[in-house]
Amino acid sequence: MDLPDFKYHRPDTVENACGLLDELDYPGLLAGGTDLLVEMKLGKRSHKDIISLSGIDELKSIELNDNKILIGACATHNDILNSPLVKVNIPALCDTARNIATEQIRNTATVGGNLCTAASCCDMAPVLMALDAVIETGSVNGFRSIPVREFFTDHRRTELKRNELLRGIIIDIPPDSTSVSFKKHGLRNAASIAVASVACMIRTEKGIIKDAAVVLGAVAPTPKMSNKAAELLIGKKNEEVNEVLLDSIGDAAASEAAPIDDIRGTAVYRKELVKVLTIRALRELADKKGEK
Amino acid sequence: MKKVIKLFVNGTEYETAVYPGTTLVDLLREDLRLTGTKKGCGLGDCGACTVLMNGKTVNSCLILALEADGKTIETIENLATGEELHPVQRAYVEKGAIQCGFCTPGMIMRTKSLLDGNIDCSGSEIKEALSGNLCRCTGYTKIIEAVETAREYLKGIEPEPLEFQPQKSAIDLSVVGRRLPKKDAPDKAAGRAMYTDDIKLPGMIYGRLLLSPVPHAKIRSISTDKAESLPGVKAVLTGKDVSDIRWGTSPARYDETVLAKDKVRFIGDVVAAVAAVDEKICNKALELIEVDYDELPSVFDPEEAIKEGAPRLFDEKYENNINTVVDHHFGDIDSGFAEADHIREERFTGNRTYQNPLEPHVAIAEWDRNGKVTVYTSTQVVHYVHHQLSRILDIPLGRIRVVMTNCGGGFGSKAATNYLEILSILLSRKTGFPVKMRYTREEMYLYGRGRHKQFIDLKIGVKNDGTITAVKQKAVLEGGAYSSFGIVSTYYAGSMVPTLYKFDNYKYDGIRVNTNLPPCGAFRGHGCPHPRFAFESLLSMIADDIGIDHIDIRLKNAMEPEYRTCNDLDIHSCEFTACLEKVKDISGWKDKKGKMPQGKGIGIGCGGFVSGAGYPIYRSKFPHSNAMIKIEEDGSKAVLFTGEADIGQGSDTVLAMAAAEAMGITLDRIDVVSADSDITPLGFGAYSSRVTLMGGNACKMAGDEIRRQVIETASGILNADPANLAAKNNRIYVKNEPDRSIPWEEAASAFFSFKGPLVGRGHYSPPEGLGGTYKGAAVGTSPAYSFSAAVCEVEVDTGTGKIKVLNFWDAHDCGTAINPMTVEGQAEGAVVMGMSETLFEDEVFDENGRMINADLHNYIIATSADIPDISSNIVDSYEPEGPYGAKEVGEGATLPILGAIANAIEDAVGVRIQELPITAEKVLNALKKKG
């Protein structure tokens, strides 16, 4: 339960962090630490060097730029939750942040850390994937962009290269025609890990769904796009989205889930949840449309 | 390499050097000695270590001290101003929101930050906001009330005092029966209460245990050379270094050794112990101990374990791994079932649950140079620890001092001697230094002693009018590797069944089976919650079968006062019917049962428990509870000495109230010294819900003796017949002439001047000859029994199966509630713990017997966001054997909860779940099956 000995580095610029990341042998990147320190205490990870990102102010910012929201990797979940910029422009992201973990964790854990841990039950990923957010990385070789939809490669594996760090996330502010919702099933009402989660996005023009995404969490090695479910939505008129269609979309999403049995639920149950949550998320979007 | 950091803690600037791996909580607690901040899990799951960093709540166990460089930290120690508590602290004290107090500092810090940011937060916002701070005692209900009250205080509003109607039995009393804040609450609110881990003795070193990584093996050899030569290591102990004595909890089943002798029986069995200058070095030394295991086949399922040819845990005993067998038959089961118009038999399965007190076990041992050892420990049972240590060390009680510090919750997990107590003593003796040992959260689960998982086949026969004619129960208890309390658990699982409803014909067959898993023991409601879950479920199923209302069938069979059960247990006071009527009334049962919209439902469950076991755990003639009271020479204060253990339930306060009432003084004039074997007289401690009745009687008796002596003295001063004098509210007066009076302290002081020390003594033993004469008749005996009924309302999401418990209305016959506020605290805590066990909790093991959820991240317990609205009620009752008519509530209140929830779910969606925990997945599967 003790943290093993390590060397602590606290660079003050992204460039310096990238330099350290490149030159050190398998260093650990410390953002909020709520995953890293737990895993180190449990002996699941060990690092001779820890690079703390807490001294790099630019990584903590949340900015509006050119109709895009830029969220620094080290913005905490509460930074997102309490950001007027996010609240006004992407309320679904606030709603998602609100239901993650506990106040203490939300004050510490960062969105970048959440994504880099790459747990399939990661709560932030489905919504970011639904919004087609893009990850900006940095390394001594320069910067690059990776769509969040392509970021996760396997259970706890990402596209990040060994010497690369996640700098931030860029989200195009969705037009009014786009709406997003997120549904999660946890075992208790707070501080719960998703047994299954679903984020849905639809973009409607002139009463016709032009674009859609259905993203599944905790039911595959990574958060996963359900293309079949999305395809069933695209091209439909709003009024065609009825219970019969929703049912088949739910089935399509469930068919693309590849869950496992674990302590929180069986694979069979998770597939059930995917269907129910998908239908509920889409119903909520339909209701939102109705309100407008 | 250490690095220098500068931080501002509670307004003071500290410049200090820390290792990179030092966390903020360790910096605060160990280096700055700000021990108000608690450490409950170390992994960010419990919130006990919550502090404010730059004004924001964080788990200080997940913050590197280096990351706090330059930051402002506020801890619990910063809130009070001088003697004046912060409004949040004051509200927690006054509202009864503090029990064991271990979650309190973190909870209060979270509350402060919440109210700093949003003074107008709603009830649901409070529930959500506090959900990162786990509490196992209070059920969060009084905490939420305290937050609401604090909100008012901060706005400068003094809330209206609560209207409170005392019970009939307390109307003429002046201390007993009042809602009074606990005496320990202010210090706990201020972060000043001392828990074992807060103690740091000069020269103290640390000890750690090496636990078996394999479920079942012979130990071929152990090599400790490398560990011993590691710098900083002071001692290494293995099985060959310690006595061969077998120890445990029940003398009939002493089967544990101090350290593994030749064999390990589960992952977590204790193999070796190390002492070193710090825990880090201990851990390194543990890695250097080489153990050569010869692995044996293992068995984890009790049904497999009893089969011929199954791996045996003990070669010399427990044939077929059957550790305990109970075979009870009362009345005539065959004729009982023959009389029945309707018979139904069902199988129910329990879950393996763990008490999870917020405070991990800790012990510190120190030998003095005269050959006496003092051990500070977080225990429920000072005397049994004292007794067992004396056996193991083979030295008399007088050379051992056991001091209980504040205890951060027990629920049975600390109701026996543990390895830390024994091995800290042995390591301290070997090294000559005081040794501190503490469990991690994971080690707590592996030490175990949680609830046995029971497999129950229950058969009940009834007449058409609902009268129960016969009950047959078969229970298989999965016991883990050692006996612990298990023999008693096996008896309790059967013997308490006939105490709630009247029936004459009863058969109980119980076996306890050893498996290669952590040992099970006594957990709140000891042995009874699963059988009660089965019984309350089946009784409701039968009521439906024969078309009787669920409460009516209970009223039909309800226990009555002065009744001898078929298994020879004597019930005296019993207001079970009043409990049933009360919950029926306040829940709106008549308008709700079977009449709620699909997805919503209501259910009833009942329970009750002993008010202390009729016989001690080991054979002894000592009175079970004892008390001494010493009065200050000026008469201004009484000091009560009791061996009973306040583990948060509030017994120090309750016992002081009983003593104060007897003496005729107010509660502010009495201090309590408890649970220190050198100072306080023997008390068997906090288990079997015994303290209020037994400790209360002893303290009342001591108080009565004081009162007699001061009245005797006062009679000379007032020139009145002592028979005509009374003592109340710090005055001694002539009955019928209340103006003729003197201050209590004047009489007490005069006594001291004439006769020397004014002391009182009290003791209590249960009535002799309790129970029948059959084998095992002692288990279930008690001077008195409690009764409870609870109605639960749930909402079930038929899409996901998720269950939301909306309401609980419960009523308790606890005799006279000595302190109604602490009674409510027990009842609310029982509702939420029972709900958490029913819906969430289960220990899960992999195919090698390794527990895979030995933390608070994956073994989930209820948070404040999960709780229902709770209406706890106390019915009028008087128990002649109890002090001022009091009996127990703490465990009995747990028992109705499981069945009530199961019954409510059935009412809501028409599915009956007979296997705990009742997860959303099980409900959904049942709904699908039903179609």
Average pLDDT of chain A, as a whole number: 96
Beta bridge partners of A262: A265
**Residue found by looking up tokens 């949340």 in the block:** A62
| Shortest alpha-carbon distance between residue B213 and chain A (Å) | 15
| Residue from A105, A104, A2 nearest B42 by CA | A2
Residue B742 has pLDDT above 90, yes or no: yes
Q: What is the pLDDT of residue B161?
A: 82
Tell me the pLDDT tens digit for each residue of A85-135: 999 999 999 999 999 999 999 999 999 999 999 999 999 999 999 999 999
- Mean pLDDT, to the nearest integer, of B364-392? 97
Q: What angle do CA B710, B716, B722 make, to 5 degrees?
A: 60
CB-based contact A107 B64, cutoff 8 Å:
no
**First vs last C-alpha separation in chain A:** 53
Using a 10 angstrom Cβ sphere, with 0-12 exposed, 13-18 middle and 19 or more buried, the burial of residue B557 is middle
Q: Is B256 in the A-facing interface, judged by CB distances under 8 Å?
A: no
Return d(Cα B511, Cα B328) in angstroms, integer: 12
Instruction: Please name the member of A2, A30, A33 whose beta carbon is closest to the beta carbon of B280.
Output: A2
B767 exposed, middle or buried (CB, 10 Å; 0-12, 13-18, 19+)? exposed
Q: Is B910 left (phi over 0), alpha (psi -120 to 50) or beta?
A: left
Best of A5, A104, A187 to substitute, by most chain B Cβ atoms within 10 angstroms, is: A104
Q: Reduce the secondary structure of B899-929 to three states and give it as a string.
A: HHHHHHHHHHHCCCCCECCCCHHHHHHHHHH
DSSP assignment of A74-117: T-BHHHHHT-HHHHHH-HHHHHHHHTSS-HHHHTT-BHHHHHHH
Query: Given CB atoms, is B623 within the 8 Å cutoff of chain A?
Result: no
A105 touches B at CB < 8 Å: yes
Condensed to tens digits (0 to 9), the pLDDT of residues B802-850 reads 999 999 999 999 999 999 999 999 999 999 999 999 999 999 999 999 9
Mutate to test the interface with B, among A53, A77, A102, A198 (most CBs of B within 10 A): A102
At B73, is the secondary structure helix, strand, or coil?
strand
Structure tokens at B453: 């998982």
pLDDT in tens, B468-490: 999 999 999 999 999 999 999 99
Nearest to B21 among A3, A263, A265 (CB): A3
Whether A192 and chain B come into contact, CB under 8 Å, resolves to: yes
Cα B833 from Cα B354, distance rounded (Å): 11
Cβ-based contacts of A269 with chain B (< 8 Å) = 921, 924-925
Query: What is the maximal distance between C-alpha atoms in chain B?
Result: 85
> Which candidate from A6, A104, A273 shows the least CB-CB separation from B57?
A104
Non-local (6+) Cβ contacts of B906 within 8 A are: B540, B601, B603, B912
**Nearest-CA residue of chain A relative to B208?**
A1
Q: Number of residue pairs across A and B with CB atoms under 8 Å?
A: 125
> What's the full length of chain A, in residues?
292
In the block, residue with structure tokens 């609110």 = B189
Average pLDDT (A35-52) is 96
Cβ-nearest to B42 among A1, A189, A190: A1
Query: Using CA atoms, how far apart are residues B200 and B752, in angstroms rounded to an integer?
Result: 39
CA dist., res. A233 & res. A209, Å (int): 7
Q: How far apart are CA B144 and CA B123, in angstroms?
A: 8
Q: Which amino acid is at B410?
A: G
Contact B374, B207 (CB under 8 A): no
Higher pLDDT, B174 or A290: B174
Rounded distance between C-alpha atoms, residue B42 and residue B438, angstroms:
13
Is residue A290 pLDDT above 60, yes or no? no
Q: Read off the DSSP letter of residue B265.
A: -
**Per-window interface: B 45-64 vs A, CB < 8 A:** 45, 47, 50, 56-59, 62-64
User: Taking CA B105 as the corner, what is the angle to CA B102 and CA B109, rounded to the nearest 5 degrees?
Assistant: 145
CA distance B53 to chain A (A): 10
Contact yes or no for B608/B580 (Cβ under 8 A):
no
Residues in B closer than 8 angstroms to A185, CB to CB, are 800, 802, 920
Q: How many helices (H) and strands (E) does chain B have?
A: 24, 33
- CB of B49 closer than 8 Å to CB of B60: yes
B96-125 residues touching A, CB cutoff 8 A? 110, 113
Q: Does the structure's ipTM exceed the value 0.95?
A: yes
**CA B338 to CA B504: how far, in whole Å?**
13
Asked if B479 contacts B516 with a C-beta cutoff of 8 angstroms, the reply is no
Residues of B in contact with A4 (CB under 8 A): 21
Residues 6+ apart with CB under 8 A from A242: none
- H or E stretch at B386: helix B382-393
| HEC string for B450-518 | ECCEEEEEEEEEECCCCCEEEEEEEEEEEEECCCCCHHHHHHHHHHCHHHCECCCCEEEEEEEEECCCC
d(CA B471, CA B423): 46
Beta bridge partners of A64: A69
Which pLDDT does position A277 carry in this prediction?
98
CB contact under 8 A, B67 and A54: yes
pLDDT grade for A289, boundaries at 50, 70 and 90 = low
pLDDT, one tens digit per residue, over A273-282 is: 999 999 999 9
For chain A, how many helices (H) and strands (E)? 12, 14
State pLDDT tens for residues B617-676: 999 999 999 999 999 999 999 999 999 999 999 999 999 999 999 999 999 999 999 999
pLDDT of B294-341, one tens digit each? Answer: 999 999 999 999 999 999 999 999 999 999 999 999 999 999 999 999
Measured between beta carbons, which residues in chain B are less than 8 angstroms from residue A38? 43-44, 62
Q: What is the CA radius of gyration of chain A?
A: 19
The 10 Å Cβ neighbour count of residue B309 is: 7
Q: Are A185 and B920 an interchain contact pair (Cβ–Cβ within 8 Å)?
A: yes
pLDDT, position B83: 86
3-state secondary structure of B653: helix
Average pLDDT of chain B, as a whole number? 97
pLDDT digits (tens, 9 = 90+) for B540-594: 999 999 999 999 999 999 999 999 999 999 999 999 999 999 999 999 999 999 9
Model pLDDT for residues B768-791, shown as the tens digit of each residue: 999 999 999 999 999 999 999 999
Which positions ≥6 away from B782 have C-beta within 8 Å?
B569, B610, B611, B612, B613, B614, B688, B766, B770
Residue B28: DSSP 8-state: I
Query: In this complex, is the C-beta atom of B798 within 8 Å of any C-beta atom belonging to chain A?
Result: no
Please report which residue ranges of A109-176 form alpha helices under DSSP H: 111-117, 124-130, 148-151
What is the side-by-side strand order in the sheet with A194-205? A178-186, A194-205, A208-217, A224-225
Integer Cα distance of A272 and B462 in angstroms: 40
Which of A41, A103, A193 should be substituted to probe chain B, the one whose Cβ sees the most B Cβ atoms within 10 Å? A103
Best to test chain B binding among A2, A29, A279 (most B CBs inside 10 Å): A2
Residues 811-840 of B with CB under 8 A from A: 840
**β-strands B263-264, B217-223: how paired?**
antiparallel
| Angstroms from B43 CA to nearest CA on chain A | 6
Helix (H) or strand (E) holding A231: helix A227-233
**Are B669 and B636 a contacting pair, CB within 8 Å?**
yes
CB–CB contact B62 A102 (8 Å): no
C-beta separation of B521 from B249 below 8 A: yes
C-alpha to C-alpha distance for A101 and A32, rounded to whole angstroms: 13
Distance from the Cα of A265 to chain B's closest Cα (Å) equals 7
Q: Do B920 and A34 lie within an 8 Å CB cutoff?
A: no
Is B64–A30 a contact, with Cβ atoms under 8 angstroms apart? yes
Amino acid, single-letter form, for residue A269: Y
Q: β-strands B3-9, B72-74: how paired?
A: parallel
Chain B residues 279-338 with CB within 8 Å of chain A? 279-280, 283
pLDDT at A291: 45
Q: Are B515 and B480 in contact (CB under 8 A)?
A: yes
CA angle, B912 then B913 then B919, to 5°: 135
List chain A residues with CB under 8 Å of B853.
263
User: For residue A104, which residues of chain B lie inside 8 Å, CB to CB?
Assistant: 44, 47, 50, 57-59, 110, 132
Using an 8 Å Cβ cutoff, are B785 and B499 in contact? yes
Contact: A8, B20; criterion CB under 8 Å = yes
Chain B contact for A22 (CB, 8 A cutoff): no
CA distance B589 to B600: 13
Q: Is B927 exposed, middle or buried (0-12, 13-18, 19+ CB in 10 A)?
A: middle
* Angstrom distance (rounded) from CA B667 to CA B176: 10
Q: Which chain B residue has its CA at the smallest distance from A270's CA?
A: B921
B29 touches chain A (CB under 8 A): no
Q: DSSP code of B392?
A: H
| Locus of tokens 């002046």 | B174
Nearest CA-CA distance, residue A67 and chain B, Å? 31
Touching check for A107 and chain B: CB below 8 Å?
yes
Instruction: Report residue B29 as tokens.
Output: 């607690």
Question: Is residue A292 scored above 50 in pLDDT?
Answer: no
Nearest-CB residue to B129 (from A103, A105, A277): A103
